[in-house]
Structure 1
């Protein structure tokens, strides 16, 4: 079995309902290349009397269990965390359920052990908890000894379970988890759909709603694509009159997702039940007339019972509508409050409105035919009271940010992780290649990029790995540009006090130092915690260093640099093949400094353990883009949150020309290791 057919098989098994067009797009192969590879493999299967790969009349590929068994269990490297990270029982239970929901075919025990990175006996114990949990929703876990596990029961209850788990478990907001659960639905396209809905409806969803929708929309579409031919009638047309449903039906014509009407209704419900921070129009939809009338009566009752006259009442009622409308849909269709809870409820004095609100809400409860649960009622009391006194403070949506990095997947993820911690004032939604950014740039307010972009949105060109001083300077610039910087006035006050008691020779430098100090103590910075993270030599062993004076092609050099990691079973052959394939791409840019290359790939492409090796070539190696490289650092990383310090150190080494020159002069691997250990 060659590598191409192995990769094709992996795609077919991971996404059983994938179509030829999508398979071709994901693999970067033509239909002819895919068909040729499958036909060749079918000839081998025929000789060994195995069933062949077939296609049915719908264009679906049929891969038998015997063929699946030809692939080693390691092929399905799904685990989203590193080897040393352990999920809790509750996390494992939730992961199993969502994985069963987003994969509509039977899921084997091997799939689940790889997903959770635990033994088969642990998964079997977990399945008992899963079976008990899904029974609360009237669902069952079907088991077939030859094929595995599957969720069965009412599709309405399956999707309700999906929605509830996403709301109640923050695990599903992690980017790698989303990619595992919904491999056929791209993050950037999901975000684009959400932004298009905001544009069509003239609203801004709350930050928490955006986070929820990023996962819920992806997972729902993933399941809906597999079941597009299944007929269900969830709501009996109850959401089809909403503008959300009508706009989605139009918007989805431009996306590669074909959903039947039932799943389109549920998708509309996800938007209908999401909280809105701001509505940018006074337009009223006919479908909201009844609720608007009931809100007017509610406010009448409030004024008559409290003798409080509400100023700008029309605007107040519109803001209450922004909250009550999604709450009514959540209650009507039994969707849990989940992430919408506000901790401030229990700290604020607005809870005193709760008893009054129980009376005011009765007409709306009669209209819905359902009572408001306590958590929704408490949130409404808080919201109602807060709007009376602080309406402007509640309607605040963070600027939406995107990261564009040309230095490969590991550096890109590290950049996003670092910036996310550095800027709690921003909502980082995605990290893109340059090409994908231009397709979706209108969805964002701010971009942080390693290369200049032809874009009209606010952009900051930064180093992929920043020093603490660079972080502080960047933070000051960004907050100032966005008008949310509180440091300037404090700096002026401090300068005035200092001038009264001391002679200032350089006001400009003093101002910068004060800005640096105030930002640092006020915000805290990710690089402050680097000392607690592993250094380069934690991953690099003395025998992982290779010296060469030979004339090598870049392919030979990458293979040679990876050899120590291969011998230690830290990576497998897929790692090398994928890195070589990446370098062939004209846009490949995993370089640091002028003479260092950092080939790396993702867990599913051959990363088995954490480790780093180094090839030092005294003769420059010519890479396809014309770079002349002397140092190759293959990076094999599982948990990217642990490697920030190491990558910073490699970046420092790569930009230290005297150090690089001295390393090239060395002829002993042990001496090189000692030098690196000393400086890191």
Structure 2
């Protein structure tokens, strides 16, 4: 949620305000991560012209507040004064972004009656035209929930749709508004709630925590009392769910259902579907600990997770070292996610912000694509397709496992990781920070409430996704960091903690200087070589962009030396021996690795055959794999393997779980084309093979 301060409002069409994009940029600048216009352009996908326009709006706005402007230097760096950070910290009045105005209007329509245009203008302090524009967005929002926005002179603005969808929207909007400055007060005011009503449901949730031995996240403990109060009021007013919408018999055996019965008893005779709904609200909450599931349900979910992880390992050509721990963490995540997905509820506001971060599409698309191909067991379990937001969340979780590493060096600074968004996001943050700062001991990933109970003598530093009231050194970080954000955070921490000024190189600027003094034949290759050189100069800082960290494609691996063509072979073992030749001769792997590969496969090893057309033999990384590599053997007549006639064999020499992912994904896409696999098998030259492969890179 982005917001900016305003002190005075002139109610006219030309009011000075920040649009949503400019508000987001201002908040980003105040957080201190991005201090270069190019980085902001990349994150928000802006042109330079759009960036300059937003910067002008931000500076005009800051001038109204008597705050020094953001200055842009010739190299693109942005000079941001300390006063800007105070804009976001002061608890005065706020100008809502377009998204926030839409959420407020939607919430008002759901909780109030007899609403006219003037009510929205008065509440939001914007012009009539602005509200009319916002109402169009509200109309689309309602449509996304299978409902319609209607207006009549007798009733004013109302929402028309099924009660289940109205409640989903109500809960989502309340969760979003709670996150705003003074959000609790706003929800109480707009929802016509009294503080003692909200406190009653907060006490009830704390009772559930004790009775069921679960811990709700800080975010849920903030929003759920308001949501429960609003839902129970709808029930009291006779706005019942359609019985056909909530016949979820499997919920009757849960302890949450029993607690729902206790809560609704005070309302008298209430239809059974309403008890189901309250139970579902509890079961779909994000919980910091596993909570209680029936043994049968745990067993079924565990089996689905086992099958999903196994499929992921096969498709990604990886073997997770701490496999059992990974499965247990996934089980903890899946308990609330299971009910969210199965009963068509959505992620709460802040979690949606996390899974939809801009860097996601650029850095995690390979893992996301693989996850989409492995999620079948979970979809079979819930009986429907896993929503993309949930799949992205799982992708972030799996990506964090790729970066896991552990150290046991003593005498290191001790740090806590604080995140109010639940166990999955906390573990993602903890894993990423542990990987980024091997100099630190990261004690635990905890909630805000847990942090308040920690003794300050046990730690020296705090990394948190929210501002905290602490005397210790606090670093406020995003829950998920892009590569550039990791570099900037490490630079900031090293300078502030150790007094080490870490060198940084603007490669685009270096390239520009080179262009002034000579002709460049291959700009992309030069930029790649510069990255490699400068990363070797700063590798001791722990965040260099080395070549090894880049995503390598099939074309990077399959030079002529790594491609072998043959008409026929005696059997698949002979082909695998042929495939190992280039890997051994070029130092990617040792003979011992080949023996390990051959030992673990047999005639029916169909799980390593992509698309029924390309065999990809491999073993987990070990001392006998020196450099990541791929070799390709094409057999024109084919070889019987796994009961199939296979023409292409690709042997993988992995050094970790990540560097080969992009190439494996491209290989998987290639396997879907029977025509191109046949063309490669029958190609007359290696160059012809590479030309076909190039179309998949």
TM category, shorter:
0.3 to 0.5
TM-score w.r.t. the length of structure 2 is 0.41
TM-score w.r.t. the length of structure 1 is 0.42
